[in-house]
């Protein structure tokens, strides 16, 4: 019996250290998810060559956009052909110039996030993430200005059609290259955002995701209004989900032998959005993580009612498909299990 206590004590210390290390890693998951999304957006950008003022389409700034459009309107005498649209274009170009966003690249204006590297994490590049005053105070107004400018260019009889008729297709393409580049950035980011949204829905609801029992299903449905549990206003899935169930497959030790124990558990699951690594390393970066508390009966054994005798209380950590648990009481113990449902939809 003494040997069993010694072995069990060592297992507890090892498991406690392991769980603490895992919890420390969990704390970094949220920032890792956001950073990886930003990194993937930054690395997936398309590079196109243009003939604007700086010679590279992927380096156009907002100042390049407003400057070339003003030049195009002047060179083609747009004011004589369509005074109304010309005045509208000039008005909104001035608004955009006054917004203090001239140094932004068109990728940034379209919504691409600055890549997060080690210097950013050390806060050595804070100025790179400083939003211009117009973006911080009137983002909706700025969006409206850009939309009005694009309308004056692309409407029938707008600047695009007028340029082709007056200066020829080649010169028109040269002058409107920043506009084309901006449209490409919008399309690229829209597709990337849609695919990322679908990927997150697959992680939470697709093959390989956690299977819910009846109680968890009702809780999940009733918690859709809670921020983080249901989709947000833009349709992105929330990363959290309730854990509420009964586990009868926890493996522990008793009298130097392996045995099963049962426990009721309640907690919260968090899905990990960051890209997963192939193969066995999925255990290092799993699809989901869950933490919570549990209660078990006085004795070990399968299908033991949690309130039977002097109940034991503890906590659990689910890391991907593996669950670690600790139960207190007169004879504290640790347990491990694989997250499977013996009876689908129940436990």
C-alpha pair distances (Å), 321 with each of 59, 209, 286, 338? 45, 10, 8, 6
Tell me the percentage of the chain whose pLDDT exceeds 90: 9
pLDDT score for 12: 54
Cα 125 from Cα 116, distance rounded (Å): 9
Q: What is the pLDDT of residues 265-301, one digit of tens each?
A: 999 999 988 776 555 555 667 888 999 999 888 777 7
Q: With bands split at pLDDT 50, 70 and 90, how would you rate the model's confidence at 26?
A: very low
Cα 279 from Cα 242, distance rounded (Å): 28
pLDDT score for 292: 93
Strands 322-327 and 288-296: unpaired
Contact 160, 154 (CB under 8 A): yes
Token pair listed for 279: 């193969």
Cα 147 from Cα 257, distance rounded (Å): 71
Cα 61 from Cα 67, distance rounded (Å): 10
Q: With bands split at pLDDT 50, 70 and 90, how would you rate the model's confidence at 172?
A: confident
Q: With bands split at pLDDT 50, 70 and 90, how would you rate the model's confidence at 71?
A: very high
* Main-chain dihedrals φ then ψ at residue 297, nearest 5 degrees: -70, 175
pLDDT score for 208: 78
Domain ranges of the chain: 2-38+212-338, 44-193
Residue with the bigger pLDDT between 198 and 142: it is 198
Cα 155 from Cα 169, distance rounded (Å): 17
The residue written with tokens 């004056």 in the block is 152
pLDDT score for 291: 92
Cα 185 from Cα 181, distance rounded (Å): 6
Contact 88, 78 (CB under 8 A): no
> Taking 90 as the threshold, does the pLDDT of residue 182 lie above it?
no
The length of the chain in residues reads 347
pTM over 0.75: no
pLDDT score for 45: 35
pLDDT score for 267: 93
> Taking 90 as the threshold, does the pLDDT of residue 9 lie above it?
no
> Taking 70 as the threshold, does the pLDDT of residue 16 lie above it?
no
> Taking 90 as the threshold, does the pLDDT of residue 264 lie above it?
no
Q: Which of 104-113, 142-151, 174-183, 190-199 has the lowest mean pLDDT?
A: 104-113
pLDDT score for 258: 77
Distance, first Cα to last Cα, the chain: 33
Residues in Cβ contact with 229 at an 8 Å cutoff, skipping those fewer than 6 apart: 220, 223, 238, 240, 241, 242
Strands 240-254 and 322-327: unpaired
What's the chain's Rg over C-alpha atoms? 29
Q: What average pLDDT does this structure show over 70-96?
A: 90
Question: What's the mean per-residue pLDDT of the chain?
Answer: 75
Cα 57 from Cα 64, distance rounded (Å): 10
pLDDT score for 207: 83
pLDDT score for 6: 47
H or E element in which residue 215 lies: helix 214-222
Token pair listed for 341: 């449902």
Cα 250 from Cα 295, distance rounded (Å): 12
Cα 291 from Cα 280, distance rounded (Å): 22
Cα 94 from Cα 76, distance rounded (Å): 19
Q: What is the pLDDT of residues 87-137, one digit of tens each?
A: 999 998 888 888 777 888 887 777 766 666 667 666 676 666 665 555 555
> Taking 70 as the threshold, does the pLDDT of residue 185 lie above it?
yes
Cα 36 from Cα 44, distance rounded (Å): 12
């Amino acid at each position: 019996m003494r040997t069993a206590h010694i072995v069990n004590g060592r297992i507890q210390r090892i498991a406690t250290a392991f769980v603490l290390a895992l919890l420390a890693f969990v704390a970094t998951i949220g920032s890792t998810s956001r950073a990886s999304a930003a990194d993937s957006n930054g690395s997936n950008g398309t590079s196109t060559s243009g003939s604007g003022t700086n010679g590279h389409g992927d380096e156009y700034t907002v100042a390049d956009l407003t400057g070339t459009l003003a030049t195009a309107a002047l060179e083609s005498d747009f004011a004589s052909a369509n005074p109304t649209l010309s005045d509208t274009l000039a008005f909104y170009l001035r608004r955009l110039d006054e917004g203090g966003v001239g140094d932004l690249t068109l990728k940034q204006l379209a919504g691409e996030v600055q890549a997060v590297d080690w210097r950013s994490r050390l806060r050595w590049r804070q100025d790179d993430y400083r939003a211009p005053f117009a973006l911080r105070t009137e983002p909706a107004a700025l969006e409206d200005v850009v939309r009005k400018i694009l309308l004056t260019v692309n409407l029938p009889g707008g600047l695009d059609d007028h340029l082709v008729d007056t200066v020829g297709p080649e010169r028109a393409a040269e002058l409107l290259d920043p506009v084309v580049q901006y449209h490409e950035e919008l399309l690229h980011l829209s597709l990337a955002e849609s695919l990322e949204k679908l990927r997150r829905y697959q992680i939470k609801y697709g093959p390989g995701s956690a299977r819910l029992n009846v109680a968890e299903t009702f809780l999940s449905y009733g918690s859709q209004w809670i921020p983080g549990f249901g989709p947000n206003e833009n349709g992105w899935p929330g990363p959290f989900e309730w854990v509420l169930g009964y586990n009868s497959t926890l493996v522990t030790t008793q009298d130097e032998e392996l045995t099963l124990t049962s426990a009721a558990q309640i907690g919260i699951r968090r899905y990990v959005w960051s890209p997963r690594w192939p193969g066995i390393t999925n255990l290092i970066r799993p699809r989901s993580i869950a933490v919570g508390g549990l209660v078990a009966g006085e004795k070990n054994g399968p299908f033991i009612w949690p309130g039977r005798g002097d109940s034991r209380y503890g906590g659990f950590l689910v890391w991907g498909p593996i669950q670690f648990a600790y139960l207190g009481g007169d004879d504290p113990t640790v347990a491990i299990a694989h997250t499977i449902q013996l009876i689908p939809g129940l436990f």
